Amino acid sequence: MHLIKGKEYPCHSSVTMALIGGKWKTVILFHLIEKPLRYNELRKGMQTVTERTLSLQLKTLQEDGIIKRKVFSKKPPLKVEYSLTEFGKTLIPLLTSIANWGDYVTTKFLK
């Protein structure tokens, strides 16, 4: 067993899935690989996600130290940008592999 932040995980892959698993986290992270994005830019790339879900997933990823939120102005309208942290950038090879495998599956097996 592995104990991280007070939670027990049976293996290392379960730790990974706890941090980036779910329907939207990998999508968010994949969009942030190339450059930082504002909330609305992320939303445009993920048209079926609800605003509440996107906000919650961004907050969770930020709390886990995977992304950072940078505010550029002190008074409304705020300009907020999301980007990968150095820790988050360590996920790039994994995210790329996941995307490549998804492409392989959809072109070879699920037609």
Please report, for the domain that includes residue 49, its CATH number.
1.10.10.10
Confidence band for 75, pLDDT divided at 50, 70 and 90: confident
Residue 17 placed within a domain: no
Confidence band for 111, pLDDT divided at 50, 70 and 90: low
Residue 18 placed within a domain: no
Domain containing 104: what range?
Answer: 24-108
E-state strands within the chain: 2-4, 7-9, 37-38, 67-71, 80-84
How many folded domains does the chain comprise?
1
pLDDT of residue 2: 76
**pLDDT (mean) for 4-21:** 87
Residue 35 placed within a domain: yes
Residue 11 placed within a domain: no
Residue 8 placed within a domain: no
Residue 5 placed within a domain: no
pTM: 0.87
pLDDT of residue 53: 96
Angle at 107 between CA 101 and CA 110, to 5 degrees: 95
